Chains A and B, each alone.
Chain A
Amino acid sequence: AQSVSQHNHHVILSEAASLELGCNYSYGGTVNLFWYVQYPGQHLQLLLKYFSGDPLVKGIKGFEAEFIKSKFSFNLRKPSVQWSDTAEYFCAVTSNRDDKIIFGKGTRLHILP
């Protein structure tokens, strides 16, 4: 069955620490990958996406993600987090095979000032 796994449900870091949030998927066919972010009290917005081409994708606010096809992964990274990065992060996958979108369960990131 198609699925998306975000292994870290809750991450706590200090400011300036490096961040990596895991996302693994189980999905056939050509995939499209997304990271969405939900800041406290706000609606979800796109952080970055991968459709094709360079597997290292850069998004807003210094975030990046790398698509590793052999590992079925699309991990989100940021070299130095800020307090304002406190939010919930969702990985999502679609496939060109069908009209579905699968979201991961989300990772709550809490940055200590």
Chain B
Amino acid sequence: NAGVTQTPKFQVLKTGQSMTLQCAQDMNHNSMYWYRQDPGMGLRLIYYSASEGTTDKGEVPNGYNVSRLNKREFSLRLESAAPSQTSVYFCASSGKGLVADTQYFGPGTRLTVL
């Protein structure tokens, strides 16, 4: 059981470039999430998907798009990267939803935007 996997682990972009962060889970979870972690800011929810076919904005959605490709996969896209998007990005999943369930996190993607 791999749990939650993310690719890539590290990425350096130039301002204006685009990229997609991939996330997959093998726990048959309904809900998946994307967070960013910045020093002194804790984790902030970018987008989440309560179930296959649905996505909703979190606390900091601007500059990002997401796709829930199927039950296993949830990708995060930066269309035009900005230095303010330099961060560590975590994907997570849970069985029952955001409110009353444990989240299982991936290892993170460290993104630097120059």
Report if A and B associate in a common complex: yes
Contact between chains at B108 and A96 (CB < 8 Å):
no
Chain B residue numbers with a CB within 8 Å of A92 are: 43
Give the CA-CA distance A44 to B90 in the complex, in Å: 9
Give the interface size class of chain B: 20 to 34
A90: which of B42, B50, B99 is its contact (CB, 8 Å)?
A: B42
Task: Determine whether the beta carbon of A101 is less than 8 Å from that of B102.
Answer: no
- B78 interface residue, CB < 8 Å from A? no
With beta carbons under 8 angstroms apart, the residue of B4, B99, B107 that contacts A94 is: B99
Binding site for B on A (CB under 8 A): 4, 6, 9, 32, 34, 36, 42-46, 49, 51, 90, 92, 94-96, 99-101, 103-106
**B residues at A contact (CB < 8 Å):** 4, 40-45, 48, 50, 56, 58-59, 90, 92, 97-100, 102-108
